[in-house]
Homo-oligomer: A and B are copies of this chain.
Amino acid sequence: MREIDWIRRYIAPLVDDEEADRLKDDAAMLTLNGTFALSTDMLVEGQHFLAGDPLETVGRKLVRVTVSDLIAKGALPSRAMVSIAWPKNRGEADFAALISGLGADLAYFGMALVGGDTVSTDGPLCLNLAGLGRAAGARLVRRRGARPGDQLLVSGVIGAAGLGLAALKSGMETVHAAHYRVPNLVPVSMAHWISDHASASLDVSDGLLLDAARLAEVSDVALEIDLNAVPLAEPSSRLEEVLVQCTAGDDYQMLMTVPEGCEAPGLTPIGRVSSGSGLSLCFNGRNIPLPSRLGFEHGD
Contact assessment for A299 and B1 in the assembled complex, using a CB-CB cutoff below 8 Å? yes
In the complex where A73-B27, A203-B26 touch, is A123 in contact with B120 (Cβ < 8 A)? Answer: no
**Interface mask (A181-203 → B, CB under 8 Å = 1, otherwise 0):** 00000000000000000000011
Tell me the A261-284 residues at the B interface (CB within 8 Å).
Answer: none
Partner of A21, one of B41, B120, B144: B144
Does A36 contact B29, Cβ atoms closer than 8 Å?
yes
A30 closest partner in B (C-beta): B36
**A40 with B143: CB separation less than 8 A:** no
Task: Decide: B143 and A24 in contact? CB cutoff 8 A.
Answer: yes
| A18 CB → nearest B CB, Å | 11
Q: Which residues of B contact A128 (CB under 8 A)?
A: 40, 42, 83, 117, 128, 130
Q: Does A218 contact B (CB under 8 A)?
A: yes
B-contact 0/1 string along A2-45, CB 8 Å cutoff = 11100100000000000001001111111111111111111111
CA distance A73 to B118 in the complex (A): 20
Q: Given A4-B297, A121-B47, A140-B29, decide whether A114 and B24 contact each other with a Cβ distance below 8 A.
A: no
Main secondary structure of the interface of A (DSSP, over half): strand
Q: Which residues on the B side are within 8 Å of A84 (C-beta)? A: 42
Residues in B neighbouring A122, C-beta threshold 8 A: 46-47, 123-124
**Bound complex: CA A79 to CA B38 (Å):** 10
A90 on interface, CB distance cutoff 8 Å: no
Closest B residue to A33 by CB, please name it: B33
Report the bound CA distance from A47 to B122 in whole Å: 9
Q: Determine whether A221 belongs to the interface, using a CB cutoff of 8 Å to chain B.
A: no
Residues of B with C-beta under 8 A to A124: 121-123
Asked whether, in the complex, the Cβ of A27 is within 8 Å of the Cβ of B69, the reply is: yes
A26 touches B85 (CB 8 A): no
Q: Indicate if the CB atoms of A72 and B26 lie closer than 8 Å.
A: yes
Taking a contact as CB atoms under 8 Å apart, the answer to whether A120 and B38 are in contact is no
Alpha-carbon distance between A31 and B2 when the two chains are bound, in angstroms: 40
A298 in contact (CB, < 8 A): yes
Task: Please list the residues of chain A having a beta carbon within 8 angstroms of any beta carbon in chain B.
Answer: 1-4, 7, 21, 24-48, 69-70, 72-73, 75, 79, 81, 83-86, 114-124, 126, 128, 130, 132-133, 140, 142-144, 202-203, 214, 218, 297-300
18 contacts between A and B (CB under 8 A): A25-B73, A25-B202, A26-B203, A28-B37, A28-B38, A28-B39, A29-B142, A30-B38, A42-B119, A43-B119, A44-B126, A47-B120, A83-B128, A85-B126, A117-B128, A120-B300, A122-B124, A123-B124
